[in-house]
Amino acid sequence: MSDAVSDPGQTLLVGLPGPELDAATAATLRRVQPGGYILFTRNIVTPAGLRKLTDDLRDLSRVEPIITIDQEGGRVSRLKAVGHEPPGATALRLRNDPVLVRRHAALTARLLRLFGFNLDLCPVLDLCLRGDESVDNSLRGRCYGETVEQVVRLAGAFNSELRAGGVASCGKHFPGYTSAREDAHHSLPVIDRTRDELDAVELGPYREMANVLDSVMVCHAHYPCLDPDGPRPASLSANAINGLLRGELDFRGLVMTDDLDMGAILNSYGLEETLHLALAAGADLAMICHRVDQLENARGFLERAPHASLERALAAVATAKARLSPPAPAFSEEEFRRIDAEVWNLRVDVMGEEAAGHRAPEDGKRSPVEIY
């Protein structure tokens, strides 16, 4: 493994403070050499500016970086900061038509490659067990099905079309927030499902799709049936990752934690402990979305992680990167507007003219909700 690929920073997936790389942030990133970057609405002002940012990130990386975003559709659509909001999973679920889902995924892949992304943090594989989706566990509007079969059929259609379009996929949120009664952005949900219940419901989509997902995001929820000895989040649990995901489900792709800056983690763990636990549990990428000022410390903590865990993670990241497709050669405003118009047409076809709302101005900005 080359020196660049074996850099401990390659096991970090990090956020950025704003829409441009200031000199101090750029210098930090050059030293830390993160394996990947995740962008949010705070990083998106104009279409051309977004592509410049992803190009700049590539320029300062010694190894081709993972550059990712949460572009699901509906309420979790970061690109609605500059364009139209595509229909969300619930709207697509109500139509129950894989053809519409495939259109959505194909458009998403075209947009992401145009902007310089190579990984999309979707599809969501959680199930909606409550028709009104009234529980505040972050999943409202984001679930493709009320049954395992429906999730596999619809989320599977998105997954396959996204990958066919040259963008890697990520199944989330393993093992599942389906039965969570709280939002992990604020506190640690405790999910009192039996192992038989998990096998029958939450784990169903992962069991069916394990060999077609490029990556899996592990959530911050405690499952007593997996970790009976204490409130360990799945994202830091060897039983959940090495035992269940890699062992029983035989997943061979990239494993990442959900954002380690969420309340479910921050309320109970320090950064060094969190990173060491995540690697020991079997995670390959540790996600730090907000604490940019801690990235050099994080790299130092990773240098002191057990050698075997770090080497395994670095090898997995290198393997995943070797499979990434390059972005579109250059940004085209005309091409962006053409795709954005197709997104609007899809929205109308899925939701109808009235439900779709008024068409925004070509350069209209939106105010998305930062949910992962």
Q: Which residues are catalytic?
A: 185, 258
Query: Can you read off the two tokens belonging to residue 141?
Result: 């509007």
CA distances to 71, 78, 88, 104 from 205, in Å: 20, 25, 19, 20
Cα-based distances in Å from 361 to 76, 84, 358, 364: 20, 9, 9, 5
Q: How far is CA 316 from the centre of its chain?
A: 17
Partners of 222 in the β-ladder: 190, 233
CA dist 44 to 32, 82, 97, Å? 23, 7, 31
Can you read off the two tokens belonging to residue 219? 């959530």
What the block records as the tokens of 53 is: 């940012």
How many other CB atoms are found less than 10 A from the CB of residue 32? 22
- Cα-atom radius of gyration of the chain, to the nearest Å? 19
Cα–Cα distance, 115 to 113 (Å, whole number) = 5
Alpha-carbon separation of residue 287 from 27, 178, 283 (angstroms) = 20, 22, 10
- Counting every residue, how long is the chain? 372
Tokens of 5: 């690929």
Amino acid at 192: D
Q: What residues contact 127, with CB distance under 8 A and at least 6 apart? A: 143, 145, 146, 147, 148, 151, 176, 178, 201, 202, 205
